[in-house]
Amino acid sequence: MTSSEILCVKGLHKSFRYYASPLSRLREALTGKSCHQTEKVIDDISFSLERGETLAFLGQNGAGKSTLLKLITGILLPDSGTVQKNIRITGLLELGTGFDPNLSGRENIFINGQLIGMDHAEIEGKLDAIMAFAELGEHIHQPVRTYSSGMVMRLGFAIAIHADPGCFVVDEALSVGDIRFQQKCLAFLRQFQADGGSLLFVSHDLAQVKNMCKRAIILDKGKIAYEGTAQEACNRFQAFMLESAPQPQAATPHFPDAGIRLNNAWWWQADQPATQLISGQWAELRVELTVESPRENLALGFMIRDRLNIDLFGTNTSLQQIPLVFPAPGRYTVAFPVKPNLGPGEYVLFLALHDQDNFEQNVQFWEQSFMAFQVSAPHRNSVGAVYCETRPPIVSKE
């Protein structure tokens, strides 16, 4: 390790054994004959982290991100390779790690604090601050088994940050809990960075990765697939996910006897089909239908939802006062011009065709998650879930 490095990982390997049943494990122990399958989850990973640096890990589920963090923090031991560190590394990995569900939150502060390297006197001195940050009120005296996942996250985060780590590890645990406490945690992490602390960060929120991290590593099947700037890593990972995602297929109608079939829907931008839209630029949502007999008095609509399934925007032909009439059998395309002023990320499209006068009863088809699509935002002067056009600020003196 160099003098500026606080963490150095070299040639790390980790495999897990899987047994078909407990009996197979017993048979192997008694006979010495192999009765298990082995899966390599970390395969020759090496990297270093310097003081004050923030490093993100990207990858699909099962790529090895969480296992790597457990090896770094000492929760797991590697099969081979080394993890050298010269500072205290704490963090929030799996919810409930190091907690005794039958003990109170207050009692678990002492147990969990000692597990991450704090002594009794240190915990005693920081006890009030830990309980205040966790904001559990009287629940701090109740057994942890009675806590919700958000309450467990609050307690675990509060303990970890008061251990005065030089490097803080954050896995997807911050995705649980209420948004106000999540913002409180993110505010702490930003101040921690500003004070010279280092971060190891795992998140599927690419916008958050770009905002929090300077460098990123993409993991694929336990190996490093790319290492570079967070911006470039996010772009590559996003492109990889789009390429590997199954292409939208013709939807199966929920009401197949209605005489109308939804064939397909796709985005069109810059004179070509698009699976990734550019925020703030006009696009078209094109919906292709097959009509078996003349129909009128219908309404076709769509809803855009975020990755948390929250409705962001929706409209239909009825709300826009556009009569939807199919005068003869055949194949039709309905195009919705849309300017997606959305922040970068992944979104889901919801489609519905129904009677114009009765949205709930006379439904022709109803596709909750017809397709996923990505939005990129080349705008360098903004962050957030939406994009609003702005002009340079004007400063005036009274």
| Spatial separation of the C-alpha atoms in residues 310 and 302, rounded to whole Å | 14
pLDDT at 249: 47
Paired tokens of 374 = 């990505």
Residue 348 CB partners (closer than 8 Å, separation 6+) = 304, 305, 306, 307, 309, 369, 370, 371, 372, 373
| Spatial separation of the C-alpha atoms in residues 4 and 20, rounded to whole Å | 47
Residue 239 CB partners (closer than 8 Å, separation 6+) = none
For the chain, helix, strand, coil in percent to 5 are: 25, 40, 35
| Spatial separation of the C-alpha atoms in residues 90 and 82, rounded to whole Å | 18
pLDDT at 243: 64
| Spatial separation of the C-alpha atoms in residues 200 and 159, rounded to whole Å | 17
pLDDT at 361: 54
Domain boundaries, the chain: 5-243, 254-397
- 172 vs 37, 106, 111, 153, CA distance in Å? 28, 24, 23, 11
Any idea which residue has 């192999």 for tokens? 34
| Spatial separation of the C-alpha atoms in residues 268 and 284, rounded to whole Å | 5
Are 206 and 238 in contact by the 8 Å Cβ rule? The answer is: yes
| Spatial separation of the C-alpha atoms in residues 163 and 87, rounded to whole Å | 12
Residue 268 CB partners (closer than 8 Å, separation 6+) = 274, 283, 284, 285, 286, 335
pTM of the predicted structure, to 2 decimals: 0.62
What CATH number does the domain located at 5-243 have?
3.40.50.300
Strand partners, 326: 295
- Common-topology check for domains 5-243 and 254-397: no
Task: Please give the chain's pLDDT, 398 residues, in tens.
Answer: 677 889 999 999 999 988 888 898 888 888 888 888 889 999 999 999 999 899 999 998 889 998 999 899 888 899 999 999 988 888 777 666 778 999 999 999 999 888 888 899 999 999 999 999 999 999 999 999 999 888 888 898 889 889 888 898 887 666 666 677 877 888 888 888 889 889 998 887 777 788 788 899 999 999 999 999 988 898 888 777 766 655 444 444 444 446 788 888 999 998 899 988 998 899 999 999 998 888 888 888 999 988 766 788 999 888 888 888 889 999 999 999 999 998 888 888 888 888 776 655 566 777 767 788 888 877 656 666 777 777 778 888 88
CA dihedral 124, 130, 131, 132 (to 10 degrees): 130
**Extended strands (E) in the chain:** 5-19, 36-50, 54-58, 80-85, 89-92, 167-170, 198-202, 215-220, 223-229, 260-269, 272-274, 276-278, 283-291, 295-306, 311-316, 324-326, 330-338, 345-355, 358-376
Cα Rg of the chain, angstroms: 26
Nearest Cα to 108, choosing from 143, 147, 160?
143
Burial class (CB in 10 A: 0-12, 13-18, 19+), 273: exposed
| Spatial separation of the C-alpha atoms in residues 17 and 71, rounded to whole Å | 16
CA angle 343, 388, 239 (to 5 degrees): 25
| Spatial separation of the C-alpha atoms in residues 348 and 370, rounded to whole Å | 7
pLDDT at 244: 63
Class of domain 254-397: mainly beta
Any idea which residue has 């990982």 for tokens? 9
